[in-house]
Structure 1
Amino acid sequence: MSFIKTFSGKHFYYDKINKDDIVINDIAVSLSNICRFAGHLSHFYSVAQHAVLCSQLVPQEFAFEVRCTGNSGHYHLFFF
């Protein structure tokens, strides 16, 4: 089976995705290491930075919140 080892050390299997295998910190670390525009910029501008800046443009009624649930370190999205 094909998998990737994520930043948190989990094995993420593409062919059997489970919602409990998705960790927001893994996504954040990954996106913060990817440069926008394939790196064709005069300075590093990450996909994570772009996502945060764009999220600040979204009206509150379309926003969502990320909350940590318990001591597991797992985060969940809540849409309002």
Structure 2
Amino acid sequence: MTKLVYFAWVRERIGKGEEEIDLPAAVKTGADLLRHLKTRGEEYAHALEHEKVICIAVDQEHVEHDETIAGAREIALFPPMTGG
């Protein structure tokens, strides 16, 4: 099981802050994960429709979409952050 944590408008659109799921063997990268989640229902498809802007952190380390997520205990998905 992998813990998924959602932040900001990703959380609002999916309707939950976190969940634990079994990832299929075919889900090897962050991009694979986003594509897989979009198949889980309308709320996921809506939250992740602009998948290129979604940031991914694996075990609290930022990763690019093409990087592996194998062995991750926790994966966080969040929109781009602004700040000052």
TM-score range, shorter chain: under 0.3
Higher relative contact order, chain-length normalized (CA < 8 Å, sep 6+): 2
TM-score by length of 1: 0.27
Give 1 or 2 for the bigger CA radius of gyration. Answer: 1
